[in-house]
Amino acid sequence: MRARQLLEIGFALIPASLWRRASTAWAQGTAALPPPGSPAPPTGDGTAGIVVMVGMLALLGLIVAAVKIFDIRRQRSEEAMATQGRLSDALLMDPTLAHMTVTPTVDGGFWRSSPLVVQVTGEVPAPEYREAIHRLIEHEMAGSGRDYRIEDHVAVFPRSVVRIAA
């Protein structure tokens, strides 16, 4: 939303800037006419005005491209956050996995064609839980319709090794 406001302000300032330049040029062009018979003063062919307009259009194009890139990055970030929330909810809804300390993190990348990267971190007491988490995430991601890659960083620590601090 903020980027759109900046773009609207930029569009409002361009005509004001051009009007100011034109009025300054008109004020300078009101000198007295030369006496008859003297050579006419050299007049500009308008290339300076064309250069200014091309420069302003190039600047406007850069602003529009920057706003578009910012919007695409925001959309990819929102999509990754929604997928991450869906995966976290699925892990919490499964009664066997709800008490595990496992966190899925999703990175969407910049390009639409790049796969979502799901990074799963945490600790589980047995390898079976690790496989169950992997299957659940694959099941949820299969319904998303996007390509994905799972990076598994889940460590298996048997309960007999883990000490509980009291």
Structural domains of the chain, ranges and CATH numbers in brackets: 78-156 (3.30.300.30)
* Whole-prediction pTM: 0.61
87-96: pLDDT as tens digits: 999 999 999 8
22-76: pLDDT as tens digits: 555 554 555 566 667 777 666 667 788 889 999 999 999 999 999 999 998 898 8
Q: Cα–Cα distance between 157 and 127 in angstroms, integer?
A: 9
Please classify residue 102 by burial: count the beta carbons closer than 10 Å to its beta carbon, then call 0-12 exposed, 13-18 middle and 19+ buried. buried
For residue 24, give both structure tokens: 């300054």
